Amino acid sequence: MKNKIIEQLRDALENAKSSILVIEKLLQNLTGEKNFFPEKIKKTKVKIDGDEKIVEGIFDGQNMIAGKKIFPVPVNYASKSKLVEGDKLKLTIRENGEFIYKQIELVPREFLVGHLILEESQYKILASGREFCVLRASVTFFRAEIGDEITIAVPKKKSAKWAAIENILPKIQK
C-alpha cells in the first residue's frame, strides 16, 4: 500500500514539473521577458479544424515542444507509445478541452541494451557507456526492477538525454 502511494506521488511530481514548464512559458508570453528561456524559439502554429485546434510539435523526452509553447505529454501515453526524443506529435485540442496526442512521424531509432538504475529518484538506463533517463511510468508499465537488463530506443543520429524502454530482457537461470 505504502509503495503504491509513493509511486503515485512520484508520478504526480513528474506531472507537476511539466506544469511548471508550461507556467514559465505563459509568464514569458504575458510579460515579454525572455529570461525564462533565452534560446531562440519559433512561433507556434495552430490549425483550426471546426471546433478543434491542432498543434504539431516535437517530443523532448517528457513534453511536446511547439514553437514557444510546451505541452505536457501524459506519461502513460509516452511510455506505451515508446516515444523517443525528436518524434513528431500532433495534439488535437477538442472544444471541451480534451487533449488527444498522436505520434505522426518517428525519428530513426537505434536500440541499445543496458541496465536499470535509480539515481536521486530518477530512473536511468546505463547503456553503451552512456546514461539515459526513462519515465517512471515506463518502468512501472514494464514492471522493471533495478538491475534488469533492458532494451531501449534512442534517436539514431542525435545525442539524447531520454530513452524509451522497448522491453525487458528475460533473466536466464544457470
CA-CA distance, 133 to 147, in Å (whole number)? Answer: 15
Find residue 162's DSSP bridge partners.
133
Q: What is the pLDDT of residue 32?
A: 64
Per-residue pLDDT of the chain (174 residues; tens, 9 = 90+): 777 777 777 766 666 666 666 666 666 667 665 544 434 345 556 677 677 889 999 999 999 999 888 999 999 999 999 999 999 999 998 888 899 999 999 999 999 999 999 999 999 999 999 999 999 999 999 999 999 999 999 999 888 999 999 999 988 766
CA-CA distance, 150 to 165, in Å (whole number)? Answer: 7
CATH architecture label of 109-168 = Beta Barrel (2.40)
Residues 6+ apart with CB under 8 A from 101: 64, 73, 74, 77, 89, 90, 91
CB 118 within 8 A of CB 162: no
Longest dimension (CA), the chain: 63
Q: What is the pLDDT of residue 45?
A: 64
